[in-house]
Each structure stands twice: as C-alpha cells, then as structure tokens.
Structure 1
Amino acid sequence: MIHPNPRTPAMPAHAIPPWSPMPPPEVLAGFEIWDSYLTQSRGAALMPSLEALMPVVERFALQKLCFFADVGLGTGNAAVEKWAREHSNEIEAPLRRWPDLMLGMIQLNAGDVPASMRALDRWLRDGPMKGVYFPGSAPGGLNCTHPNFDPLVARIHELGGAIMVHTWFKTGEEAGPHGSTPADLVALAARHPRQTFICAHAGGNWELGIQAVRGSPNIVVETSGFDATASFIEMAARELGAERILFGSHLPSRSLGTELGKVLFADIGEEEKKLILGGNFRRLLGMGR
C-alpha cells in the first residue's frame, strides 16, 4: 500500500483517503449502490455479457444494475434488430434471471416517432421497463432539440418513465445532428419542466456540463464515461447539490473501481455519497426513499 506523506494535510473525517484500497464488499454494501448505466452486448450476446459481469457485481456489492435494452429501433445493425423483433421475450431475460438485481430502460430512435410510440406502449405501458435511453450517435441518435422529442417525452412522462440522454461536448466541434450536448438537453428540459432528465456522462467535459445544466433543476448528471478526475464530484455537489448526481459504471467497457472511486474518494460527506451511489436513482424511479 502507498502511505501518505506525513506532511500531507489531514483528510476530512468523512473522506476515504485516496491511498486507501477499495473497501471490501461488506463496507460497500452500506452504500446501497444502484448502477444507472451499463453498456452490455446486444442481441443473442446480451445474456452472456451480463453473466460475465456477475463476479464484479458481487465483489463491489452492487444492489441494482440498469441495462439499456435494444428493442429493434435505430441500432443500424439489421441482424440485431431482426433478432429483437423475433425474440422480444429474450429482451426481458435479464429481469427474469436476476429479478432482484436487474432493471431496464429501452433505447428509442427519435427519428422514428411512430415506431418509438409503439415501443413505449409495449415496453413501458404494458411491460417491465422503467424508462428510456436516447443514444448519441447515428443512426438512432438525434439531437435532442429536434421537435420529434416532444411527443415522445410527453408520452414517457404520462407513463411515469425515466429519461436518460447521451450527452457529450466534443472538443473543437458541434454535437451535430445525431448527438446532444448538455446545453441541448437544457433546451429540451425547458420545454418539459415536469419531467426529470438524466444527463449521461455529465457531457464528458464535466466542468462545461455542470455549468450548462446548473440552472435547470429538472436535469441530473450521471457520472460515467470518462477518466476519474480530481474535483469532478466536489464541483457537481457544490454547484448542483448531491441530490442531482447519479452514479453509473459504464460496465463492462470501463473499470468499476475507477468509476466508483470518483464518488467514494471524493471530498464530500458520507450521506452525500449514499445519495449519489443509489439514493437519488431510487427516488427518481419511485423505488425507494
């Protein structure tokens, strides 16, 4: 273990020192961690990709995982979409296999409003899914300021669903017609003030993302998708409040230890960490305090 320099200022009583190892599962269990962001495989590879995560889930004592189900809309992969249409029962397989662990959102294609409306009826109104994820790249991605989003958001709100939008500030260029930035999400959120929106990845460039959404109380930021950086969580908690931050892991494409470390080793209070790691997501989904 790397030990601190004796001249290093004392850490606040609530902080886990950054030179500490990852806490053991019994300590992590006390944070009641709900993971809002998985990037599992599609189609027939869905279940094997989730099975492979289970040792990691156990080691880090995750209580809930949210996966984004492809239901045959806007993936650009004809084989995946054909599989989804022909095996809709298999899309729910993770919920049957791990009923106490898994929850799901569906990916929609805002470029196809009629098909997306049908998917909302099938998967939210009549099915088990908790909300919608809008992707950030072609062909299913569409800039969230597009008017196609308005009827979809209104319907999701009627159904009580959560909404997550992929956001990213690209260095030196605009988001383009298929992607969205936090500033774009602010415009959409202003048109639907009664709906809460999850700003995935806090826009990547988190300093700009936090500043962009600060004045929009119906936007919360999600923490995954970029390397751990000093002061990210501290700035978000200071500018937005801890109640507007959701933990996401981006498993399996990113390190769970790295993503958890952003929150666990942040210089904020333990109760704030508990909100970020699970309490806020439970409240947003109407599944707990």
Structure 2
Amino acid sequence: ITFADELLGIEIVPYDKQGSVGAVVINNKHSELAKQVALHSYIIGVNGTVVSDWKHDNIIQLLKYNKEKNNRPLTITFHKPVVSNRLSSAHHSRKPKIVQTRKTIDFNYKHNNNNDSNDNNNNDNNNNDNNNNNNNNDNAMADRHENDHNNVPLLAPDKLFNGLIDEDTPNDWDKCKTQSNLRAMVKDKINTIHRHYAQLYHHCLDMKSFQGLLQDCITEKIQQLSIVCKENLVIMAKLYFCESLVNTLNIDLFHSNYRLQTQTKQLF
C-alpha cells in the first residue's frame, strides 16, 4: 500500500458488522509518517479507481474484486499530508507541523477501547505537542467513525439555521429553565451545524481530490500526447524521405527504360 510516494506496512480493517472500512492500522505506529497517515487516512483511490473513504461499499467491492482476481500488489492512495513550517513554542526552533485536513468536532462522540489504545500510542511527545496530537486524533477518529453524516440528507440553509438562535421564537429557550438544559440544547444545535458542515466538508474534499487526480491524469495524457506527436513527426520525416527515394527510383527507371528502347531501335 502506498502513501504519497512511500511504501508502508498498512492494513485497512472494518469497524462494524457491515464491513465498512473504518480504520487504518499502521505496523510502526510510533514513526512520524505513521502519525501522519493516522491523521490523514482519507482514501482517494484503490488501484487507480477514484473512491471516497466514506463510500464503504465501493471500497469493499473493490477490495473483494482484487482479492478474487488475486491482483497484487493492491495500491491504495491517501491524501497527502499538509505540512506548515511554524515555530514550535516548546523547542523554539522551526519544526514541521502537521495540519489536520479532516477536522470535525462531534460532542456526542465517545472513545471505545480501540480508539483509546490508538490515542495512547502518541504519549511519547512533549506536553504541548501531545495535547495537539490528542485533539487532532480525537477529531480525526470521530470523523472517520461518524456514520450519520453519510445518511442524513443535506438541508437547505434556511431549514438548517431556522430556530437555532432566533429571538423571535423563544419557545425552545423558555423551556431551558436550568443551566444544564441550556447547555444540552446549545450542544445539540451546535452538533446539528457540525454534522451538516462535515457533509459539505467531505464533499469539498472529494471534489478537490477528484480535481487533483483529473489534473494529474490530464497532465500525464498531455505528456503522452507530446511524445506521440514527436514520434509521428519522426515517422512522417522518414515517410517523406522514403517517398522521395521512390520518386527518384521511378525517374531513374523511366530514363533507363527510355535509353534501353532507344538503343534497341538503333540496333534494328
């Protein structure tokens, strides 16, 4: 399995009974590149076929097809990690910082044992880096294990934001007699916004991924076309040269036949 331009020991494992792809297990979990894959495990291609990591059925179908056909090696393409050079406050030196490309906050998300074990693998970093990595891992894992954002249809903006915070319709707010009820209602409304934002965010990533793959494909085809054009020019030059030789031979043959006929007439 390839991640960007490097070969890694990675396997994709299901996380539910339906066989939906939900996690990426990395053999060397303590390497920096492994942490990048954990943060950016967003599948965009299987053996050259464009897919999305939330379209589990398509991925499973491709994996089963390749298994039945014994197609090896299986190439799975992930998003490239986005790296920004920011000054690290802990080390006071310029250090590459991984920018989370799939960050979605889910207040209702709770860790399971597997997620806790995965999060504990990053405890070797410094305190500041550890906090940042844990937050990013929480958001990424919640993002990957969230199912309802795939099944809920997109709402129009007026329907989505209608009644979230509206002073003219204070019925929901009047029901919140305690601070805890108010917090619960606010979290519920924020979760609604985040869930639909996650949908739009994933659709945007899919579009950008497809645009990138399409651009790479077009660039590759243009390069191949330029090579074919050069080969065609060489072949055309050889063809013109052969045609000129054939014309020259025809002219020489015509003159030779004319001389032969003239000599034959002179003899008789």
TM-score (normalised: structure 2): 0.20
**TM-score, with length taken from structure 1:** 0.19
Higher relative contact order structure (alpha carbons within 8 Å, sequence separation ≥ 6):
1
Select the structure that is richer in helix. Answer: 2
**Bigger radius of gyration among the two:** 2
